[in-house]
Amino acid sequence: MHAELLAPGHRISSLTGLTPAGDVGETLCFSQGSVAAEAETDPSGLTVDATDWVALPPLADLHAHLDKDYTWTAFGEPEGPLEDAIACWAEHGEHHTYRAIKAGARRHLLAALHSGVTAVRSHTNFHLGDDPLRGVRALAELRTEFAGVVDLQVVMAPGPWDGPDDLGRAGIPLGPDLIGGFPHLADDPAADLERCAAFAEEFGLGIDLHTDETLDASSVGLLQLAERTRHWPAGRIRSAGHCVSLSTQDDATRARTLAAVAAAGVSIITNPLTNLYLQGWQHPVATPRGIPPLREIMEAGVTLAAGGDNVQDPFNPLGNADMVDVACELVTAGHLTPAEAWHVSSHGGRATFGLPPARGLVGDVADVVLVRAAHTAEALAERAPDRVVIRAGRVVAVRRRVVSSVLDPHSPSDPSSVPTAEGAMQ
């Protein structure tokens, strides 16, 4: 069978004719959910001709807000910096129902799956109104619904920084995976960081905080997070999202901070799409990029992941759950190579999530995204219109772009399936 004919549910024993990319050569074999040697392939699966396709690691979105998705229009089509987005959410969030939250989150997860994202970490607010835990509950239910197809981690804050942690304690029985928070927005950031970390320790959970989401160089929450969690067990997750102030700090401060972050095992999650949109409104000339120094982070030995952050909500009117767009911005604005950008958006994300490797090496999980492209740069440049998503050796999603024009060599009435020059089917 040719890769063009794959459909959800097909089980694969081997992919042949691949264009080599990364650790994957011309052939990739699967058996019992893992990458196998050629002699150990599952005989019940399909042998697939993948000529003109590359097999790339699956993508991981490590910073989403599924409870806010697709609210931009309903909330008045706002625009502006972070402070304006927060004010808009405070004004309208009370009317964002459990049903709307779950529908938007499911739409996001399906779009992510079709684009090759098999792991999503999402934060959720405590929502205003009579049911403040409706976001946590909706995401916990979707985590069960998508299990085995898209892994979902739910990040819950312990509660408002100006009040008790009662909401957080009420949410613990719903099964949050991690504890979140926004210390840099609190009146006393250091005290709020301590509160979030202590809450996580009380329940034996890891932590993922919004950290230094500001261009203010004096915001040093990342260093404080590293110092506070450096004694934690190695397997307990500690992550920092955004870390924008790193881009405005002097060399000595950055070096000291990143050395502490690496030593403490804190991972950094960059969110270029939303931070490029939200940061820098007060600088109409020479506008700061709003993302941290990515290569410097990696060279310091810190695990770097990426997130799509907001999808068509008050914090970003754009966003579409496709991590390929995020990887492209890591190249354009972050000055990573295409291969590095995919690595951050795949391997970096999986490591930060706590998932096993999916490099295509024997013994790795048999998770891969087939992309019709000559190499990773082309996959990013063309936004990988044709993708086949494989999980544990089974096709779980297929995405194809179909194009036609009066200049095509085959008439619309031609029933044959022939790949066009753009790699689509007609």
Which helix (H) or strand (E) element contains residue 399? strand 394-399
The position carrying tokens 């230094």 is 212
pLDDT mean over 249-274: 97
Q: Report pLDDT for 129.
A: 85
**159 vs 126: CA distance, rounded Å:** 7
Confidence of residue 409 (pLDDT cuts 50, 70, 90): confident
Q: Report pLDDT for 402.
A: 86
Bridge partners, residue 306, by sequence: 270
Q: Is residue 121's pLDDT more than 70?
A: yes
Q: Report pLDDT for 420.
A: 44
- The ranges assigned to domains in the chain are 59-353
Q: Report pLDDT for 418.
A: 46
Q: Report pLDDT for 5.
A: 95
Confidence of residue 421 (pLDDT cuts 50, 70, 90): very low
Task: Give the CA dihedral 355, 360, 364, 370, nearest 10 degrees.
Answer: 60
Q: What is the pLDDT of residues 347-364, one digit of tens each?
A: 999 999 999 999 999 999
Q: What is the pLDDT of residues 32-46, one digit of tens each?
A: 999 999 878 888 899
Overall CATH class of domain 59-353: alpha beta
Does the pTM surpass 0.85? The reply is yes
Q: Is residue 247's pLDDT more than 50?
A: yes
Q: What is the pLDDT of residues 184-233, one digit of tens each?
A: 999 999 999 999 999 999 999 999 999 999 999 999 999 999 999 999 99
Count of beta carbons in the 10 Å neighbourhood of residue 4: 21
Q: What backbone phi and psi angles, to 5 degrees, belong to 26? A: -80, -20
